[in-house]
Structure 1
Amino acid sequence: MIKEIYSLIKELFSRLFSSRLFALALIFTGLFSVLGIHLFQMQIMQGRSYLESHLKSTRKNLVLPGTRGNIYDKDGKLLAYNELQYNITIADTGAFNSTPKGINNRNRMLHKLAIIIEKYQYPILSQFKVILNEDGSFSYATSSDQDRLRLLANVFRKDPDKLSEKERNSTAEECFEQAKKLYHFNKLTDENGNPISLSDRTALDMIGIIYTLRLTSYQRYMSTNIVENISRECMAEILESKYDLPGVDVENVSVRKYNYAPYLSHIVGYTGQVQEGQLSDLKKIDDSYEVNDIVGVWGLEKSEDLILKGKKGYKEMYLNNVGSIMEVISEEKPMAGNDIYTTISANDQISIYHLLEQELAGILSSKLTENNDLDQSKIKQSQLMIPVKDAYYQLINNNVLNKDHFFTEEAGEAEKEIASRFKQNKEEMLSQIETILNEENGGELSGLPQELQAYMVYIYDYLLSKKGEIVDPEDTRYKSSSAYTQWKNDAISLHDFLMKGIEEGWIDTRKLSLNTEYSDTNEIYALFVQKIMEYLRSDAGFDKLLYKYAIAKQTISGNLLLRALFEQNVLTQDDASYQALAAGDAHTAFTFLLDKIRKIELTPAQLALDPCNGSVVVTDVKTGKIRALVTYPGFDNNRISDAAYLKKCNEDLSLPLLNGATQTQLAPGSSFKPISSIASLEEGVINTDTIIDCTGKYEEVTPNIRCWIWPSQHGNENLVDGIKNSCNYFFADLGHRLATDSKGNYNSELGMERIRKYASDFGLNEKSGVELDEAEPRISTYDPERSAMGQANHAFNAAQLARYITAVANSGSLYKLSIVDKIKDPRNNAVEERSPELEKTLSYSDVTWNAVHEGLRKVITEGVAKSVFIGQNIAVAGKTGTAQEREDRGNHAVFVSYAPYDNPEISVTVNIPYGYSSGNAASLANMVYDYCFGKLSMDTILSRDASNINSLTVSD
C-alpha cells in the first residue's frame, strides 16, 4: 500500500515537473516575488524618501504682487487709486508638448481664446509691438529703433546684432508674417486635420498672447495678463470653456485708476507692464522687479515707484501635473505700498488749466483771418496772422476728422462729397506728377507751380528715406554730384536728377525688379516712376499733402469740412448750424469756425495751430512748494494702455504727452534780465545811479543790436528804468560791461563766466528738483551782450524759471522745488514729511535786491506790462519775456512774477511756445492771480469761454 502511494506521488511529481504549466507558474511566482520585494522597499523601507522626491519635483513658488499706494492732492482728494476688475490671464502649465501635435493643440487653444476675446471686442495686452490699422495695413507700435530691433530679434530667433540687413529693415507686415511662421500658425488644423483659416486680426491676437507669454516662459505657472476689465458675460464664457483652455483663467485683480484727467495727467502719470528692455535697469534699483510687473512709466508713478509699489508676497505650494494647487506649504502675504500726498491742489490745476486753454483760444481766434493770400515775409513775429485755410487743413492734418471714414458706406452727405472731390483731385494730380516725371525737357523745380513743387520734394524725400532707400546719404558720389547741387538750388527736374544718379551709379537699382541683367537707363528710370506712382497711391502722408492743397484752392471747402465735424460727432449735433453751413459761403464757414474756437468747442489742442500748448507754474514763495504745475494739453491716463489711444496721442501735433512745464525748453527772453541786473550790481560794473543812454541801436558789437523801440529810443536810463522798459540797449551794454575787466580790456569769456555764475546762483544750471522727468537747462555759452538780454542759446523750462523767480521774490532763498508733501503708510501713519530743500541763501546786498524788486514792480505799474494789469489791485511784480526762434512762427511768450509785492506769497510763471508776445503770457498770469487771491472763482472760470480774450502785444 505504501509502495503504491509512493509510486503514485512519484508519478504526480514527475508529471508536475515535466509540465509546461509548472515552469510557467514558477516564472510568474519569481516575478511576483521580485515585484513584492520592490514594493516593500518603495512603500515601507524607502517610502518617505520617494514621497519627498516626488513632492520636491512639483513644489513651486508663486509671486504675489503688492497693491500700489494711492496718490492724493494737498486737500486729500484722490488722484490715483486701485480698483478691482476681472482680467483674463494665461500661464504656461506644461499642458502642451513640443511635438507637432502638441504645438497644433496649443494653437487651437489660442485660436479658441482669441475668438472669444474678439467676440467681446477687447484689445490684447500685447508686448508684440505691431498693430493692425483700420485700413488693414500693419505698423509698428513703437517709435524706438531699439525696441523694434529687439522685437525682430525675437521673431527671427537671433541676437539683435546678428540680424541681416533685410531682417533689420523688415516692415511691420513682414514681422507679423515671420511671427506667424515662428509659432506655426500657418499650419493650424482642426481635430480632423483640416486647415483653419485665420484673419489678420485673429492671428495678431494669437501672436500677441503667445509672444507676451514667452517673455515669462522661464516662470512656469506665473500668470500673465492678456485682457483687462472684462464683462461678467465674457468671464462666464471663459470659465465655461476652461477645460479647452489649459492655463487660461480669470483673475480678480487690482488695477490703477486716475481722477482729474487731463488736468493732472502729467503730474500723476501712469503705470504699465515692465518692458523687456527696461528690466535690467530696474533690477539695478530693486532686484525684485520681474517681467510682467506693473511699474510707474510717467509722472509720480514713475519717480516714486519704490514708495508706491509695495512689497511682493510669496506662496510655496505643491502642484499636480496640470498645474492645479494640491497643497500650500507656506505663504507670505503681499504688502500695500505707501500713499503719497502732493503739494498740488486739484481745484487749482483744473481752474488754471481752463484759464490757459481760454487764453490760447483767445489768442488763436484773434489771429485767424479770412485772407488766405497774406504776404507775411516783412512783418514782426508778434503780428503774424493765421490764414483760415490752415485751420481747415488742421482738421485733417491733426486727425480731428477721420479721413478714412469719408469713404465708408456710413459716411454722411458732406463726407461723401469730400471723398468724391478728393478722389477726382488725386487722380488729376497723379496724372500731372507722372507726366512731369516722364518729361525729358523742363520740369525744373523752380519752374513748377508751388503745389507741384511740394509733390516733387515729397517724392525726393521719400526716395532718400528708409522707405525708398535708393540713395545712401553718406555716399560721397551723391554729395559731390552736380545733380545734388542743382537740386538744392531748385535748378534741376526730378527726372534729370534721377537719370543722373542712375548714370553715375549712386542710385541703388537693386530696389527695383529688373527683368534682365543689363537694362538701359530709360528702362531703369521707368521702373523708378512705377515705384513712385505705386507708393503715392497708397501713402497716407501724400494724401494729407493732397488735402492741404485741395483745401487751399477750395476744391474741398471749409463748409464741407465743418459739416463733416457734425457727421462724425466731433461737434454736438445742431441741425440749424449744419444747414446754415450747407447753404452758406466761405464767410459763413469762417464766422462759424471762430465761434466754435471762442466757445472752445473746437480746442487749441485739436487745431494744433500757434499757439496750441503752454504751461503755468505757481509756487509758494516762502516754502518752495509747488501749488500748481499745469501743462496744456493733457491726456487721459486711464486710456494710455490702449494702443490705439496711445498712437493717437503720439501723432497729435499739440504734443499732449509732453510735460510742457518740465520738458519744453525755450529761451527766456527778457525774463532773464533781472539776473543780468544782479550780476552787474554785484560785480560793480554799474551802480544804481549809473545812467546809460539808449539810442535805439547798440553799435558796440557786430551785428548791431536794435532795441525793441527802434527807430525810437529810450534815452537816459538807470537800472530800474532799464528793467521797467525792458530796454535791449541797456542790457546789451550790461553784458558788454560784464565782459570788460578792471583795466578796460574786453573779454567775451569773462562776460559769459559772470553771467553763468549768477544764473547758476539761481539754480539755472541744474534741474528744478521737481519729482518728475525734466529736461536739463542750458545757460548760454556765447555772446555776453545777447546773453544778458536773455537771448543767445539760453534754454529753460517753466519749472526752472519758476524756481529762479521764487528766489528773487523771497530775496535769495533758493529751494529745490517739490510736489511731494508727505508719505503715509496704508494705515494712515506718517512715514515721511517732505519739504523742499533750501539749497542756498544768496547773500546779495540790500541795495541790489531793492533795485531789482523796484524795477520788477514798475514793469507792472509804469512799464511794458502796464496795459495788461490795468485795474489789478493785487500788487504784482514781474518781468515779461519775448523770444524769437523762427521767422515764420510767432515769438515765444514768457512771464515770471510774484505777489503781493510788499510780502510775496506766490510766484506765477507762464510759458506759451509761439505765443506771439509776452503780453499774452502776462494776461494769463493776471487771471491766475485773480483766481489765487479769490477774485475769480472756479465756477466762474468753468462757465466762461474765450470770447473776451484777445492777443496782446507787449514789446520787450
Structure 2
Amino acid sequence: MREKRYPNITRYTALIIVMLTIFATIAGRLLFLQVVKGQDYKEQSNNKSIREIPDIAPRGKILDSKGSILATSTQGYMLVYNKTDESDKVFFTTMSKVFKILDQSGESQQDDFELKINPFRFEFRSDDEATRKALEIKFKRDRGLNDEIEKDIKSKNKNISDDELKSLVNKKLLTISAEDTFKKLVKQYNISSAYSLEQQRRFMIVKDTLKMQSFSGYKPVTVASNIKKETAFKFLQMLNVLPGIDVTTQPIRSYPNGDLGSNFIGYISKISSDYEKYTEKGYDVSSDYVGQAGIEGALEDRLKGSKGGKIVKLNNNGRITENLGQRDPYPGQTVQLTIDKDVQKAAETSLDTTLAGLRANPYQRGSNTTNATRGTAVVVNVNTGAIVALAQVPRYDPNLFAVPGRLSSEMYNEYFSPDMGQFGKNYIESRGITANYPGESEDDVLNTLFPIDKSIKNNTTIRQDVYDIYPKPFYNYATQSLIPPGSTFKPMTAIAGLETGVITPDFSLYDNGTFDQGGKTLKFNLDGPNGVVNLTTAIEKSSNPYFMTVAEKLRNAFGDDILAKYAWKFGLGIASNSSVKPATGIEIPEKFGQVYNTVSNKNTYASTYLWKTMSVLKSGQDDYGHKVVTIDLYDNNNDSSQVKGTKNNIKTLIKNSIKDGSSAFDKAKYKELFSELVKEDPNNKKDISDSQMSNLINVIYSITISDANAQLKVPANIENAAIGQGLNQFTPLQIVNYISTIANGGTRYKLHLVDKYLDADGKLIEKVNPEIIEKTGIKPENIEAVKAGMGAVNEKGTAAAVFSGFPISTAGKTGTAQSLGNQEQVGRTDYSEYVGFAPLDKPQIAVCVVLFDGGQGGIGAATVARDIYTAYFTSNGTISSSTTTTSAGQNN
C-alpha cells in the first residue's frame, strides 16, 4: 500500500498561520468595537456624560454620658447643578430661575465664597492676620491671578529663582484689592455686567465652585443645602425646564443644643489649611468639611466615616439616566463623652447669670467688675478623671458653620475680625479709663491698650488685644488660659509643709494682717487680720501670713524647689528634666502651666529682662535716668545673616548673665560683640568711645546682675508662690485635677472627655478606662488635715455665705488673683476663683470655677460651684431640687 504524503509544513509556515489568525481576531474585535458598539463607547468616553458622584458619609454622633445627642448628622435636601455642554449653554437663564424660586421659598443659596460685596472684602475664617493673608494669596493663585504677574516678572528678570519669584508674586497678589479681584473673576467667568452686583456674585459662586472642583474631578455643585421638603418637591416638578438642576440628599451636621458645650465639641468647616495632609487622606479640599477644634477636630479620623460614591450616566440636561455602579458610604464612629449634659447646662447657665450680675452691680468688694464677660467651670469625677462638665462664657453656635451661608457678616466680624478700634473706644469710655492717663487723649489711651499691629506692613487699622480684654468665643478658657491660682493654691502649700514636717496641723501663729518680706511689710486688707490661726483656720480664713511663713520654713529647711517637688505630684507643672509630656491627658488641645521653681524662674527672668535691656538700649536711658549710647538689638527684616548672628550672640550673653550672675558676665565678650555690631550693622553704625562702651556695659550689668539675677535669690519668690501668686500659672483644668487628687486621697488620674467609642450600630469598639498618672504617696492624715480646712471654708469660712443651708457637706477654697500688674490702670480687675469637692466625706466630683475680672473674694465663683453641685446631686438622686434654694446675695 502506497504511503499517503502530506505537504511539508515548516516551523516558519506554522508561525505565519498563527500570526494571521491573531491579526484576524484583532481586526474582527476592532470592527465589533468600532462599528457595532462604537456609539455606546463614544458616549462613555465623553467624561461629561459618565460621572462619579461622591456620596458623603454621615459623621459619627457625639453623645453625652447618658446617651443624649450633642452632635449628629441628619439627612437634608440639596439642590445641585450638573454641568454638561447643553446645560452650560443656558446656565445664566437656568440659574436666574433657580435663584428666583429659592428667594420666593425663603431659602438661601449656599455661600461659603470668601469674596464679599457691599463693601468689597475677603472673609477668611481666622483671627490671625498672617493666616488670613496666606489664605488670600491661595485664593488668588487658585483662580489664576498669579499667571499674568509671573509672566511680567519673568520678562524683566529671566534669571530669577523660583523662591524669589514666588515671594514677589505673593506681594503683588496682596496688592490686588477685593474689588479688582471681583472684576477679574466676572471677566473670567463671562458674567455680563448687565446683571446687578448681587446677581453677578450669585452666578460667580456657582461658576467658581465648578472651577475649584474641577481640580479634583467632577462632582455636582451644591447650589442650596438643607432646603425645606416643600422647596425640594417644587424643584423636582420643574426639572424639565431647569437643565443641569437636580435634587438629592446629603447628611447635614446638626447640634441640637445650640451653643451648649461648643468649647469642647468644636465645629466643622471647609478645609482652610494643611491641604496636602487632607489630600493624602482622600479628602476633596475644594468642598469637604472637617472637624475644627474640640472633639470634632481632635477625633476627625474616627468621626468622618468612609466616603461612598456612584458611577452614573447623565443625559444632555445633566439628569442621571443610569446608575453604572455604587459604593455605599459608611458612617463615622459614635463618640460617647463623659460629659453630663444637665450638669453642663447648669454650669453654663450659672456662669451666664453670675457674670451678668457682676456687670450689673460692678462696684463691690473693692473691684470694678464691668468687664466680667468671661468665665469657665470644670467638673471632674475624682475617682476616674472623667470630665463631667467643661463650661465657659463666651460660647458660639456650631450650627452656624455646618451649612455654608448661615454665618452672617456681622457674626463673622465678631468672631474672626472684630473692630478692636471701636471696641476699645467703647471699653475706655464705659470704664472712664482715660482718667488713669493724665494728660493723654482717648486716642492715646486707645493706642496704649489696643496698639496698632506694627508687624503687619502698611497696617493702620488692625489692633492688638495686648491686655486680653476682648472675649473670644473660640478660645477654650479652661484648657488654654494660664492664670495665677491665688489662694486656691494654699492647700498645696499646706501639703508640702505637712509632708516635710516643717509644720503640723496644730502649728499656729498670730495673723495681724501683715508679713515682713525682707524688710518690706506686706499688708493684707482683704484676708486679715485673723488673729491666732492653725492649719484648719488658716485655710478657712485664707491667711496669707500663715502660708508665707510655711514657705519661709520650707525654704530654710529644703531650698527653693521644695514646694515645686510636691506641686508636680499633683499636676501643677512638671520638672524641667522630666521626659514625660506635660499634659493632663484631655483629648483636645491644652496648655500646661508651671509652678514656681528655680529653673523656670531663671528662664522667665532671662526673657523678661532681656526685653527690658533691649528697650533701655534702644531708648538710650535706663530707669534711673542714666544716659547710654543707643543700640538697636531688635530683629530687622533687612538684617544680614552676619548681623542676625551677632545680635543673637549678644542676646544669649545677656540671658546667661541674668541666669548665672556675675560669673557669667564677660565684659570682654560684650565689648567684642558690640564692636562687631556697630561695624557690621548699617542701622547701628557709629563710633563708640571707650568711655561710652564702658558705660554701656555697666548699664547692662546693672540690669542683668544687680537687678534681675539678684531677684532670683530672694525669699519673696517662694513666699509669693505659696499663696498662689508670682510665677505660678496653671490652666483651670490643671487646678481641678490637683483638687481632685486631694479629694480622692492622693491619686492623680488622667483627665478624659471620652468614655467610649461605638460603631454606627451602637456596638462597643473601645472603652476608655480610668488611668492613673501618679500615686502621690501623701500620708492619709495630711490629706485629711487639708480636707478639714477646706470643709471649714464652706461651713464657716470665706464661702460660708454661699453654702449656708446646702443639704450636703462640701469642701472648698476661694481665691483672688491679680490678672495683671497694672490691672486697674488698664481697666481690668482680679480673677474670682473657687475650687472644691463634694460630698466632704466620700467625694464624687471636684470643681474649679474662674471668673475673669470677677473681682475679689471668689464669692461669685463659689455661687457657680453651688449651682453645679445642685444639678449633679439632683440628677443622681442624692438631693431633691426643693432643698437647694439659692442663698441670698450669692450673685455678689
Cα distance in 1 for residues equivalent to 2:881 and 2:372: 20
**Residues 369-408 of structure 1: matches in 2 within 5 Å?**
382-385=365-368
With 65-74 and 932-941 compared, the bigger mean Cα shift is at 932-941
Structure 1 residue 809, shift from structure 2 partner: 0.4
Question: Which residue of the partner structure matches residue 264 of structure 1?
Answer: 261
Alignment of 1:118-133 (within 5 A): 118=103, 120=105, 122-132=107-117
- 1:383 deviation in Å? 2.0
In structure 1, what is the Cα distance between the partners aligned to 2:29 and 2:756?
Answer: 66
Aligned residue number for residue 912 of structure 1: 851
Looking at structure 1, the residues matched to 272 and 368 of structure 2 have their Cα atoms a distance apart, in angstroms, of 47
Counterpart in 1 of 2:640? none
1:56 offset after TM fit, Å? 5.8
Query: In the alignment, which residue of structure 2 is the partner of 1:841?
Result: 775
**1: CA distance, partners of 2:876 / 2:780:** 35
Match of 1:140 among 123, 127, 150: 123
**Shift, 1:810, TM fit:** 0.2
Larger C-alpha radius of gyration, 1 or 2?
1
Select the structure with the greater relative contact order (CA < 8 A; seq sep ≥ 6).
Answer: 2
Question: Cα 1:725–1:762, aligned 2, differ >3 Å: closer, same or farther?
Answer: farther
Equivalent residue of 1:216, what SS?
helix
Provide the C-alpha distance between the structure 2 equivalents of 1:940 and 1:207, rounded to a whole number of angstroms.
60
Number of the residue aligned with 2:330:
335
Alignment of 1:214-253 (within 5 A): 214-231=211-228, 234-235=231-232, 238-239=235-236, 242=239, 247-253=244-250
Q: How does 1:651-800 map to 2 (within 5 A)?
A: 651=418, 654-701=471-518, 705-709=522-526, 713-740=529-556, 742=558, 748=560, 750=561, 753-754=564-565, 757-758=568-569, 760=571, 766-780=582-596, 781-782=600-601, 783-800=717-734
Question: Following the alignment from structure 2 to structure 1, what is the Cα–Cα distance between the partners of residues 319 and 184?
Answer: 34
Tell me the CA shift for residue 60 of structure 1: 4.8
Q: Give the CA deviation at 1:866.
A: 2.8
User: Is 1:71 the equivalent of 2:62?
Assistant: yes
Which letter does structure 1 place at the counterpart of 2:487? S
Residue of structure 2 equivalent to 1:518? none
1:896 has 2:844 as partner: no
Deviations 1:576-635 (A, max 9, x none): xxxxxxxxxxxxxxxxxxxxxxxxxxxxxxxxx432332222222222222222223433
CA, structure 1 residues 821+785, in 2 after alignment: closer, same or farther (shift >3 Å)? same
Alignment of 1:634 onto 2:389: no
Partner of 1:176: 182
Show the counterpart of 2:791. 857
Q: Which amino acid is 1:845 matched to?
A: K
Counterpart Cα distance in 2 of 1:139 and 1:700: 56
The unaligned stretches of length 5 or more in structure 2 are 1-25, 148-165, 424-469, 576-580, 602-716
Deviation at 1:140, TM superposition (A): 2.7
Alignment of 1:78-89 (within 5 A): 78-89=69-80
Partner of 1:612: 373
Classify 1:130/1:949 alpha carbon distance in 2 versus 1 (closer, same or farther; 3 Å): farther
Of 340, 351, 366, 1:345 maps to 340
| Cα distance in 2, alignment partners of residues 946 and 359 from structure 1 | 12
Give the superposition deviation at 1:897: 0.3
Q: Distance in 2 between matches of 1:340 and 1:63?
A: 25
Separation in 2, partners of 1:124, 1:807 = 53
Task: Give the whole-Å Cα distance in 1 for the aligned partners of 2:180 and 2:880.
Answer: 55
CA distance in structure 1 between the partners assigned to 2:487 and 2:116 by the alignment: 47
SS at match of 1:818: coil
* Distance change >3 Å, CA 63–CA 719, structure 1 → 2: same
Name the structure 1 match of 2:201: 204
- Correspondence 1:384-783 to 2 at 5 A: 384-385=367-368, 609-640=370-401, 641=403, 642-644=406-408, 646-647=411-412, 649-650=414-415, 651=418, 654-701=471-518, 705-709=522-526, 713-740=529-556, 742=558, 748=560, 750=561, 753-754=564-565, 757-758=568-569, 760=571, 766-780=582-596, 781-782=600-601, 783=717
Separation in structure 2 between the aligned mates of residue 760 and residue 177 of structure 1, nearest angstrom:
57
Does the CA contact (< 8 Å) of 1:614 and 1:912 recur in 2? Answer: yes
> Which residue matches 1:279?
275
Shift of the 52–203 alpha-carbon distance from structure 1 to 2, 3 Å rule, reads: closer
1:362–1:948: 8 Å Cα contact kept in structure 2? no
Residue 934 of structure 1: how far off its partner (Å): 3.0
**Residue 898 (structure 1) shift:** 0.6
Alignment RMSD, CA only? Answer: 4.0
Deviations 1:708-757 (A, max 9, x none): 458x6345544334322222223333344444455xxxx65x36753663
8 Å CA contact retained: 2:787, 2:811: yes
Structural mapping, 1:106-125, within 5 Å: 113-114=98-99, 116-118=101-103, 120=105, 122-125=107-110
Compared CA separation, residues 164 and 727, structure 1 to 2 (3 A): same
SS at match of 1:817: coil
Change (3 A) 1:932 1:784: same
**How far apart are the structure 2 equivalents of 1:81 and 1:707?**
52
Question: 1:45–1:339: structure 2 CA closer, same or farther, 3 Å change rule?
Answer: closer
Q: Deviations over 1:742-774 (max 9, x none)?
A: 5xxxx65x3675366345368898443333343
SS in 1 for 2:874: coil
Alignment of 1:820-839 (within 5 A): 820-839=754-773
CA offsets, 1:108-163, max 9 Å, x none?
Answer: 66555555545555444334313345xx5645343433323322433453397443
Amino acid at match of 1:878: G
- Going from structure 1 to structure 2, the CA distance change for 1:752 and 1:184 (only over 3 Å counts) comes to farther
Inter-partner Cα distance in structure 2 for 1:856 and 1:945? 23
CA contact 2:572–2:735 (8 Å) conserved in 1: no
Aligned residues: 656
**The residue matched to 1:315 in structure 2 has which SS?**
strand
Partners in 1 of 2:321 and 2:499 — Cα distance?
Answer: 78
In structure 2, the CA distance between the partners of 1:777 and 1:249, relative to structure 1 (3 Å rule), is farther
Give the structure-2-normalised TM-score: 0.65
Gaps of 5+ in 1: 1-37, 189-195, 369-380, 387-608
> Residues 802-844 of structure 1: CA distance to partner in whole angstroms, max 9, x if unpaired?
2221111001221222232222222222222223322222111
Residue type matched to 1:619 in 2?
A: V
Structure 2 residue 882 is matched with structure 1 residue 882 = no
- Supply the distance in 2 between the matched residues of 1:230 and 1:259 (Cα, whole angstroms): 18
Shift of 1:212: 3.0
Q: Distance in 1 between matches of 2:75 and 2:520?
A: 66
Q: Does the 8 Å CA contact 2:586/2:751 hold for their aligned counterparts?
A: yes
Q: Give the percent of matched residue pairs that are identical in Structure 1 and Structure 2.
A: 25
Give deviations 1:348-377, integer Å, cap 9, x for gaps: 222333233232233333337xxxxxxxxx
Tell me the distance in 1 between the aligned counterparts of 2:569 and 2:803: 30
The TM-score, its normalising length taken from structure 1, stands at 0.61
Distance 2:338 2:170 in 1: 52
Asked whether the equivalents of residues 384 and 889 of structure 1 are also in contact (C-alpha less than 8 Å), the reply is no
Give the Cα separation in 2 of the matches to 1:648 and 1:265.
Answer: 19
Supply the distance in 1 between the matched residues of 2:34 and 2:258 (Cα, whole angstroms): 65
